[in-house]
Amino acid sequence: MHQKPPFPNCVFVTGIGTDIGKTVVATILCKALNADYWKPVQAGNLEQSDSVFVSSFGVQVHAEAYKFFTPASPHHAAALEGKSVSLQQISLPYTPNRLVIEGAGGVMVPLNEQEVILDLIVCLKTPAIVVSKNYLGSINHTILSCEMLHAAGVEIAGIVFNGVSTPSSEEWILNFTDLNLLGNIAEANEISKEFIDAQALKMREQISLHYTI
């Protein structure tokens, strides 16, 4: 009988683009795994940041390494404030719990003039979870994101599909990438505590098909 590997203690949630739903997925993942949350770089919306959103569901949140006022790619937001992002200044926070890390946008979003989110994932030495969302072109964007991660030597723990399901697209992506399906997050008009808890229960069951938790 094939023995399931343990789920990683630390994972990096990245997306195939912007507004894919990474923060909601990260929140659900934290609840499913009783994990902490950390967003190393936040650009824009500081009063209602992703960390504030996640903490509102009772998740332990660690402080950002960088926070910028402008809602833009981190390299541009930092430049507007006369600052720059250095990977050497970003280190994993200590926690005895599992840790879910959320990136900014997709894997090729620039952090500074030379480095992108992918470099941060490599630097932190964490497996990735790819969040996909069904739209015209999402197959291409999902495959390219996975290929970039693989090329950089990043282990991909699995894929989460967010929003309205398109089974034919999802099946094609899973067959092509040979990656684990970690969850299908339902479309919701309101992201309530009840919604998060229900989706977390489903995600925990799905993850347990592939990993020991």
Amino acid residing at 178? D
Cα–Cα distance for residue pair 6/12, rounded to 1 Å: 16
What is the domain extent for residue 139? 127-213
Q: Token digits for 103?
A: 């990136």
Residue 121 domain-assigned (yes or no): yes
172 and 121 co-located in one domain: no
Domain-terminating residue out of 100, 125, 150: 125
The residue whose two tokens read 């390494």 is 65
Cα–Cα distance for residue pair 134/173, rounded to 1 Å: 11
- Cα dist. 117→8, 62, 191 in Å? 20, 19, 27
142 and 160 co-located in one domain: yes
User: What letter would DSSP give residue 165?
Assistant: -
131 and 209 co-located in one domain: yes
The residue whose two tokens read 């932190």 is 124
Domain-terminating residue out of 125, 142, 172: 125
CATH classification of the domain holding 141: 3.40.50.300
Phi/psi at 121 (5° precision)? -60, -45
Residue 1 confidence (pLDDT): 55
Low-confidence ranges of the chain (pLDDT < 70): 1
Domain count, the chain: 2
Angle at 128 between CA 126 and CA 133, to 5 degrees: 160
Phi/psi at 106 (5° precision)? -95, -175
Amino acid residing at 126? T
Tens-place pLDDT, residues 167-183? 999 999 999 999 999 99
The answer to whether the CB of 199 falls within 8 A of the CB of 186 is yes
DSSP letter string over 4-44?
PPBPPSEEEEEESSSSS-HHHHHHHHHHHHT-EEE-SEEES
- Enzyme catalytic residues: 39
The pTM for the full model equals 0.96
Residue 189 confidence (pLDDT): 86
Please give the share of the chain, as a percent, with pLDDT higher than 70. 100
The residue whose two tokens read 């925990």 is 204
Residue 46 confidence (pLDDT): 86
- Assign 68 to helix, strand or coil: strand
Phi/psi at 93 (5° precision)? -70, 150
Residue 15 domain-assigned (yes or no): no
Cα–Cα distance for residue pair 52/164, rounded to 1 Å: 26
121 and 137 co-located in one domain: no
